[in-house]
Structures are given as C-alpha cells and as structure tokens.
Structure 1
C-alpha cells in the first residue's frame, strides 16, 4: 500500500511543493530555454518526476514506473487515437481535392470583402480545423489560405494566431476537457459546461480584434455588423452546445453556426469600403488583381465540401444523444471495458485507506470519439471515391484509407510528446506531487481563483497544447480548489480557458505560423504583435473566473 503525503520533505508543505515543481520546471527549461525537441523534453521530465516520486515521496520504484506506464497508455488511447483520426478525416478532404472547394465557399460567401473572407477562413474554418485536428493544424492551414488570398505574411500570421484562441478549449474533439476529466475524476461534460460559460466571452470579440489587426479602426467600423454577428453567434453556439448538447462537438457546431450567420447577414447587408480595404490590407500585387463578381458556387460541389463536417455532427449526435427506440449512448457505453490498473489499483490509497479512482482505466474501443471519427472518415472516403466528377476529384477508396497510416507516421513525434506528458502527469498525480503543490497554492485562499487561469496560460504557452496544460495542472487545480474552498469544477475549467490565450504566444504555434507564411526565424517579430493581446485576454479571464467564484457572477455557472 502507498498513501501520498502532502509534506513528505522536512515536514513542510512549502518545501515539498518546491521540490514537486522540479519535474515541471525541467520540462519548461528543456523546451523553452535549452530548446530540445518536445518529445525529449517530455521524456526527460518524466524521468525526473519518477526520481522525485521515489526519493522524495517514497513511492515504491515499481509503482512509480507503473504510474508512468499507465499515463502513457492513456495518452495513446484515447488521446492520440482521437488526434490521429481527426487529422485522418481532414487529410481525406485534401487528398480528394474537396478542400479547395471548401476554400472557394469562403471566398464567395465573403462577398468580395477581403476582411470578412479572412474572418471566415481564420475564425470559422480555423475553428472547424481546431475541432477536428488541433495541435497546430488550423494555424498552418489557414495561414497558407490567407497568403493565397493576398495578405502580407506578417498580417496572415497574426490573424490566424488571434483567430486560433476562441476554439482551443474544445479543440481536437474537446481532448483538453476529456483529459482533465480523466485526471480529476470530474465528469468531462461538467467541466465542458463550465468552460462553455467562460471561453465564449472571448469568442464574442475575436473576429473584431482580427479585423483591427488587419485594417485598423476604420476597417472595424466598416465591417462591425459582420464581426459582431459572427462572434456573437459563435459564442452563443459554444455556450449552448457545451451546456446542453455535446462538449465534444462544441467547436464544430459553433463554427458552422458562425458561418451560417455570416451567410444570412450578407444577403441583406453589404460592407462599406471593400475596394479601398483591398488596397490597405492586401499586398500591392494581390490588390491589383480584379475581383470576380457574381461567381456562383456549384451546389453539388459545395455540398460535398461541407459533407464531412455535417456527417461528424450527425454521427456524434446519434452516439451521444439518440435514445428513441434504441438507446445508442447506453449501448455504446456498455461496450467499454473498465478495469483497475494492475499494480496500482487498490494499492495507491488515500488517507482513509480508500483506493484512488484515477487508477481505473477505461478502454472505450467503440464509444471513443476517435472511433467515431474513424467511422466518419471511412464513410467520407467511400463517398468521395464514388463521386469523382469525371476525374476532377480522383481518389480511390484505398487511397483515402491509406491516409491513416500516413497520419500515424507524421504524428509519431507529436504522439510521443503526448505520451510522455501524460506519463509525467500520472506520476505526479499518483505519487502526491501534484496534491502537494495544490495544497501549497491553496494557501492564497479565495484569490487563487484569480490566479487559476494563469497556470493554464503558462502550461499552454510552453507546451503548445491545452491538452498538455490540463495534463500537467488539472489535478493541481482540483486540489487547490478543495483546500481553498473554491468550486474545483470552476478551477479545472479555468485552467482550460487560460490555455486558450496561452496558445497565442506558444513557441510551437509561433514557429508553425512563421513557417507557414515563409517567415522562418522571425517568430520574435510575430510575438511582438500578438503578446499584448494574449496578456490582455488572460487578465479578462482572470477577472471573470474570480468573479464567478463570488456571488457577483456565480449565477453564470451551470
């Protein structure tokens, strides 16, 4: 039997907490200072966490190693499984040629106004990509699309980074929230609902901020009805979907709702100054190209371009909500295999002698979002292979399926990073290191609610992943909340929401943006343009979470 202690070193919570922070500091120093590869930083910090657990917290060697193994298995399934399948689905759209049709949809819907087109591509379509893939894919893809639109490299990079804030909490089929739920034992849907009462506040204003960066205050005034319509509709959809529908589908629904709202608005309203804005916003070469007016979208091709995202909503909706006749959610849940992790379950116990719940492992082979995405991808590949339009969209069914293997290979180092960070999180959690840090921070009392989003911001800024930030700090937030008398659900959600704006200044994301717009080595130039926005939005979140922890705004919480 092993019982984690909160003050194993010198009988002091403060000293023990500082020692417990060594694995996290190691990770951040290796990644941000020494600039090692993310997977090496993760493996190195995992090794340090195991050593600290054994020497400092007196955790048996076998248990410490086993805890790391359990974390890595959880990182592989369901997390890496979900990410790989999400990217596979996107790759099928690229391989089939339908991705280009989707880009034309945004071009035409934008009504010839480059500012609105940029919002639709970077914010709405970027939100869809974040929902399905995440991990830098939205930044890379939408940046190249904005370059093709004619934006300067610096404007394109800043625009996609700003746009990639609001959807991050629910990215990759809400993997950050699923991870937080698994590590804390709090139902993920409850965490998702609280996040859905925080991050939409940012979504309301992100499209307007994006236009401000592109075209200044004049541009903001000219297209304000569009940016507010898109932002408000996106935010409301996030709030409703995360609270009442499915937290996994939140970004997909919100992105499509935002796009639909723009379509409806532009049927009755025309932005001012579109021609002049082209000269201000685009490069001189791009601005000189005549605008094609009156272009009509082919209905069949438009339908096929949107088909994968509509199918995702249908399949996830059936899997999560359908209870007429056949209770599909219950049936899918019945296929899950749950068991106590050998060597840990029943042997890692709390102070009362009760087995900790985090040593239970659930193998959701059929109900996992990753499996649902695989089913969606296979259907999309089949449908696309049967609709080649005379060879224009040539892709065989086997070519579509081959993208699974290609995606796994391309994700190998990113996957190793995820495995190592989850291994680190499990070692720190089960040994008691995380609980010690949480107990120490809880000493700040109610003010910790204000500080809470900062942890998520730091974690995501350094790792480039809100999922990794939750893996590192979700348990800590929960412990601090319990000890400080603050709702743990609120603080775990705050960690997720804080990570949303941390991704804006993540070295990983900055590098992806710089590479995508051909500004390699100029990440610092981009950082100077976006850092202020990241800090400003973080302070707004800190104030919001603090007020939500008091009677002033507690009514906002679900």
Structure 2
C-alpha cells in the first residue's frame, strides 16, 4: 500500500486544507501561551491532534501516520535528547566537583556586568558551539553556564535562544546551507554568499537587542562600545567567511573573533556602572559583600585552565566530530586510505544502525511521483551527544570524581530529564507527521500564493514556519527549499535570494520551536515551565522575522545589487 500526498486534501481546496493543517500549530500556541500547559502534555496532545488530521483529513493510512510519528520520536531521542542528557551531565560534573565556582570567578574577573557576561557566553560562546555541533547543544550548554553564573533560569534560557539567532544558518559546520544544494541544484557556495549578505545585519543587531531586553535603553547605552565590538566583529567575519570561504566555517571563526575581541576590549574598557538583575539589586549589601569576597579569591592559571578544561575538551571533540571526513568514519561510511580513520570506521560501522521504518519506507509518494525513504537513523558513535559523553568521561579523571559519584550524577541527570525527553520526542514526532502527510507543504504552498509583490516579504516566513515545525534550519531548508526556488522563478524573484531568505527567516523561528523550548528548559531545570519560556520568546521571534522579511523585500528591489 502506498500513500500519495495531496496538498489540497480537504475539499480539493488549498485554502481550506491550509486552515485544517494549521489546527495543530494553533493548538500548540494556545496550549503553551494561553493554557500554560506543561511541555510534555502540550507535545503529546499536539502529536495526537496531528495524527487525527493526517488520518481523517489528509487520508493518510493510520499505520503510516503512527510509524511516521515513531520515526520522529526516535530522532528526538537520538541525536537531540542524547545531546541534552550529556550536556547537562557534563555541566553537573563541574558543579559537583566545585570546578564551576572557579569558572564563575574567571568570567567575573573579565566582567561582573550581567550585560557583558550575556554577550560573552550566550552570543559568542553559544555561536561557537552552534557552528561546531548545533542540534540543541549551544543553548543547553551556554544557558547552563549563565545559570551557574547567577542568571535567572528563565532569562538564561530565553537570552540564549535569542542569541542563537545569528549563527543558526551556518550551524553544524554549514549543514543547513549544504543541505539545500541537493534538492534545489543551486551551489551551496552561492546560497552561502547570499545568506552572508543578510545575517550580518542581524548579527550586528542581536547583541544590542539582547542587552536591551535585559536592561532597557538607558542601561544599554552604557555598554554600546562593547556591544559594537561584539556585534561588528562577528558580522564582519561572518560576511567575509560566508562569501569567500563557503558555508562551513562562518560560525566558528565569527564566534572566536567576537569572543576574543570583546575579552581583549574589556581589559581596557569598563562600563560606568555594574549591571545586575533586580533580584540581585534588592540584596545590594549582600551582593557587594559577595563580590568583594569573590575578588579576594585568587586562582592560578592552572586552576582556571583545569576548571575550563571540560568545556575546552567538549569544544575540541565536538569540532572533530563535525569534520566531514571524521564524520564519515564515525558513521561507518569512510572509504579513504588513512589507517586511523579506517580503524575508526570499523567501530563506527558496528555502532551505526539504519533500519527501514516499517509500513512507510518508500510508501509515501510526493507530488513529483517519487517515493520518500523513511529510516531510523541510529548513529551511536557519530552522534554529537557521544562526543559530549567522551568529554564527560575524560573530565572524570581531570576533576578527580570517583566512578561511583560519576555514575550517580549520570543517573540524577537521566531522572531530571525524563519529561523533557518525552517532550522532545513528541514534538519531533509531530513534525514528521506534518511532513509525511503533506500538511507542512500545504502551508508552504499557501504562503507562496502571496504573489510577485508580497512574496519576497513572506519568503522568510516559509523558513520561519519550517523551523517552528521541524526545529531545524536544515530540515526547513530541505522541506521548503525547492518550493522557494520554483515560486521565486515564477514571480520574477532571484531564486538564490529566496533560498537565502528561507534559511535567514528560519533562524528566527528556532527560539519558538517546540523542541528548542524543551531543550532550553531542560538545560536550566525548568522542565514543565515551557509555556513561560514560549511566552518570553514568541514576540521576539515575530519581530525578528519581520525584519528579515523587510530586508528580503528591499533586496528584491532597491537593494538588488546585493545579490551575488
């Protein structure tokens, strides 16, 4: 039995089909923003509604719909859930052994100002992790670091989600851009150039926006020099690397340049006042005493290096895991002559399982008449979470924790994250059901009907919608890339601009994606509070995607000289 996707399944009418396809999304918004439902309950109920619509409105066979959900749930657990578990575990190891106290002191030695700490950790360090790994690790690790520094957990999670806007399009060694080349036939280097002529505008703005959200206009003006150093260093590097080096390195190099530029700048410049949150200001006397005490504690360079070494290890190992050749070996697909990689390939092959998804593999027929493959992709060694686990194992010897306490800490982490992992599995299952049934493409086709005048403005909203549904800029580019190209050609818009808009618009949807919300809450201990974080980020997501829409509209007209 096969199932042919029908994007006008309801009444043979695209508009009516789009209204029905919107129901699970509207419900999810309502469940989190209005009802304030716990994340795992919102995720499971949204998945259930999507299954009902796929089966009864889109006429997808029930067995196929449920197996599609299972494919998404498995992907939600590995690699995404695995990243969260190992990231939080590594962080907890540094806390339990007292190393995080030294990390906190070392950051405070650069600046005690919360505004500047957010730029260093959420923006620059988070962008580096996005470039090296992606898939939730940047938000999980940087948010946990901010909480350890004393940030309110909700603020830490929200700020890291917003900061993650700038680097997402080039995340995971350029995966979102590279993925778009296949279905569209347009070179990834050309798409990279165009994205590199859009995102730098956001990259300059995001540091300012982060501080403005935290402190308001008056307090933002106090640190404008630092904001400009952070944002301009990132944006300029992002432009040059994306236009002259390709999509693989913009995040990593931009983040490093921004991080070191700001750290060096702060050696010679300090804000007039030290900003702390209201809750800290209410205990001003106590805070002052603690600050004096912290400043009196002097740690040697060796102690600071030891404290940071788990995260330095993490960075190095994740970077290795993301390199294309090593990635092939880790997943058992290496065919070169290098002896070490060949040995690694044998191990990777034995730990990689790619079984077909029963009932649905090559049984869904898309509008092009092609069968869509469906597999459970279980790459145990190649998963980024495994790289983090290896860092945690090495950390055991660095910090001197016993295997007993190491194991107990891992068990505590698993227990704390059981509900967030259920949330992630359910919302990714929802994404897969909407994709395989054709609901997401119905919505994309509806937006594409906006016409030659308005489509350039709404083009980024397709990417925004895709990332909201799938939780991934890579998946959104695969989902809507070809639709963007075809629609752009038909309305007289440059296809490269439309593809770039899909990716640039997509990054603004990351902060409200259900799986991103679940990841961030899990990392900072806010499981069950997903609705609060969603309410925090939703307005910023809308605001930023509108900015990208306006920029794309202008680049299609008066700024067309910016198109490569």
- Taking structure 2 as the reference length, what is the TM-score of the superposition? 0.74
**Cα drift, residue 42 of structure 1:** 1.7
Secondary structure of residue in 2 paired with 1:5: coil
What is the match of residue 450 of structure 2? Answer: 444
- Residue in 1 that maps onto 2:313: 311
Q: Give 1:176 shift.
A: 13
1:435-474 pair list within 5 angstroms: 435-446=441-452, 447-454=454-461, 468=471
Gaps of 5+ in 1: 148-152, 386-394
Say which of 379, 383, 387 aligns to 1:364: 379
User: For residues 176-195 of structure 1, what are the structure 2 equivalents within 5 Å?
Assistant: none
- Between stretches 53-62 and 443-452, larger displacement belongs to 443-452
- Secondary structure of the structure 2 residue equivalent to 1:11: coil
* Matching residue of 1:391: none
TM-score by length of 1: 0.75
User: How do 1:256-335 residues align onto structure 2 when only pairs under 5 Å count?
Assistant: 257-267=257-267, 269-271=268-270, 273-274=272-273, 282=281, 284-285=284-285, 289=289, 297-319=299-321, 320=323, 326=338, 335=349
Distance 1:192 1:23, change over 3 A: farther
- Relative to structure 1, the CA distance from residue 377 to residue 241 in structure 2 (aligned partners, 3 Å threshold; closer, same or farther) is farther
Q: Which residue of 1 aligns with 2:162?
A: 165
Q: Which residue of 2 aligns with 1:493?
A: 503
Measured after TM superposition, the shift of residue 82 of structure 1 is 2.0
Structure 2 counterpart of 1:382:
397
| Cα distance, 1:308–1:452 mapped onto 2, change above 3 Å | farther
- Give CA deviations for 1:97-149 in whole Å, capped at 9, x if unaligned: 11111111111112x667545644554566678877456775565256346xx
2 CA distance for matches of 1:66 and 1:496?
Answer: 27
**Shift in Å at residue 466 of structure 1?**
8.8
Instruction: Work out whether residues 140 and 513 of structure 1, in 8 Å CA contact, stay in contact via their aligned partners in 2.
Output: yes
Change (3 A) 1:55 1:372: same
Contact 2:91 2:144 (C-alpha < 8 Å) held by counterparts: no
Q: Which residue in 2 is equivalent to 1:17?
A: 18
> SS in structure 2 opposite 1:264?
helix
How do 1:499-510 residues align onto structure 2 when only pairs under 5 Å count? 499-500=509-510
Distance in 2 between the 1:215 and 1:312 partners? 32
> What is the match of residue 544 of structure 1?
551
| Among candidates 404, 417, 425, match of residue 419 of structure 1 | 425
Task: Give the aligned partner of residue 438 of structure 2.
Answer: 432
Superposed, 1:216-231 pairs within 5 Å as 220=220, 222-231=222-231
Map of 1:204 onto structure 2: 204
Q: 1:339 to 1:14 in 2, by over 3 A?
A: same
Count residues in correspondence.
Answer: 524
Q: Which residue of 1 aligns with 2:38?
A: 37
How far has the Cα of 1:311 moved from its partner?
1.6
Shift of 1:532: 7.3
Q: Distance in 2 between matches of 1:507 and 1:352?
A: 34
Residue 481 of structure 1 is matched in structure 2 by: 484
Give the equivalent residue in structure 2 for 1:150.
none
Work out whether 1:68 is the aligned partner of 2:69. Answer: yes
Q: State whether residues 192 and 493 of structure 1, in contact with CA within 8 Å, keep that contact through their aligned partners in structure 2.
A: no
Shift of 1:494: 3.1
Matches of 2:66 and 2:433, distance apart in 1: 8
Judge which range, 204-213 or 235-244, deviates more. 235-244
1:72 positional shift: 1.1
For the pair 1:404 / 2:410, whether they are aligned, the reply is: yes
Conservation of the 8 A alpha-carbon contact between 1:502 and 1:534: yes
Residue matched to 1:104 = 105
Q: What is the alpha-carbon distance in structure 2 between the residues aligned to residue 57 and residue 531 of structure 1?
A: 29
**1:388 alignment counterpart:** none
Residues 63 and 344 of structure 1 are in contact (CA less than 8 Å); yes or no, is this contact kept in structure 2? yes
Instruction: Quote the residue 2:332 is aligned against.
Output: none
Pairwise CA distance, 1:229 = 1.7
Q: d(CA) in 2 for partners of 1:146 and 1:38?
A: 25
1:458 and 1:502 in contact (8 A); partners too: no
Q: Which runs of 5+ in 2 are unaligned?
A: 327-335, 489-494
2:393 & 2:238 partners in 1: Cα distance?
28
Judged with a 3 Å threshold, the aligned counterparts in structure 2 of structure 1 residues 204 and 38 are, in CA distance, closer, same or farther, namely same
Aligned Cα root-mean-square deviation (Å): 4.8
> Deviations along 1:66-115, whole A, 9 cap, x unmatched?
111111112122221222222222222222211111111111112x6675
Find the partner of 1:142 among 134, 140, 146.
Answer: 146
Which range moves more in the overlay, 258-267 or 235-244? Answer: 235-244
Deviates more, 1:59-68 or 1:444-453: 444-453
- Tell me, what secondary structure is at the counterpart of 2:377? strand
Is contact 1:449–1:546 with CA below 8 Å preserved after alignment?
yes
- Shift in alpha-carbon separation, 1:304–1:224, aligned structure 2, 3 A: same
For the 8 Å contact 1:456–1:469, the answer to whether it is kept is: no
The answer on whether the counterparts of 2:511 and 2:541 sit within 8 Å (CA) in structure 1 is yes
The Cα shift of 1:405 comes to: 2.6
Distance 1:65 1:107, change over 3 A: same
Distance 2:369 2:214 in 1: 59
What is the deviation of 1:4? 0.5
- Further displaced range: 225-234 or 97-106: 225-234
Match of 1:392 in 2: none
